[in-house]
């Protein structure tokens, strides 16, 4: 039951924060960087697929160790590291393989992924502890 709670709590936090970022804060920035490469409409099925899989990673690699240690800082540290490694893999691969891929955007994206994942892991951990009493 703890893992289901951790997954749901983390997914809600991650999605809520990321949707605000994408819809309000960064939309014009990404468009200015990618221009015609951006899709006219978000492909929500693919986006939700990413969220579903990514949150499993946050739970396994950040929240599970934090629950074992009983320390929110573990969730923050491992969450931030997981976010950095995942977003860096995506962004650095794009820089290496796509002509004229904007380096500036990748730097912003890696910082965002690190902060978003660390925050989501920490809040997911705290909500899990609160909801399960563990």
pLDDT of amino acid 27: 78
pLDDT of amino acid 37: 86
pLDDT for 25-63, tens place per residue?
777 888 899 888 888 888 889 989 999 999 999 999 999
Query: Domain segments of the chain: what residues?
Result: 2-132
pLDDT of amino acid 38: 86
4-18, 28-42, 49-63, 93-107: least confident range: 28-42
Residue ranges in the chain assigned as alpha helix (H): 2-20, 27-34, 44-58, 64-69, 72-97, 103-132
pLDDT of amino acid 40: 84
């Amino acid at each position: 039951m703890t893992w289901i709670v951790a997954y749901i709590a983390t997914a809600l936090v991650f999605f809520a924060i990321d949707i605000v970022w994408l819809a309000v804060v960064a939309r014009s920035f990404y468009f200015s960087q990618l221009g015609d490469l951006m899709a006219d409409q978000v492909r929500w099925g693919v986006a939700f697929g990413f969220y579903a899989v990514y949150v499993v990673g946050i739970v396994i690699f950040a929240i599970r160790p934090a629950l074992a240690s009983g320390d929110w800082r573990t969730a923050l540290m491992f969450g931030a590291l997981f976010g950095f490694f995942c977003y860096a893999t995506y962004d650095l691969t794009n820089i290496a393989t796509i002509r004229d891929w904007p380096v500036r955007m990748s730097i912003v994206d890696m910082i965002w992924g690190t902060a978003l994942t660390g925050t989501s892991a920490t809040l997911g951990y705290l909500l899990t502890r609160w909801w399960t009493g563990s």
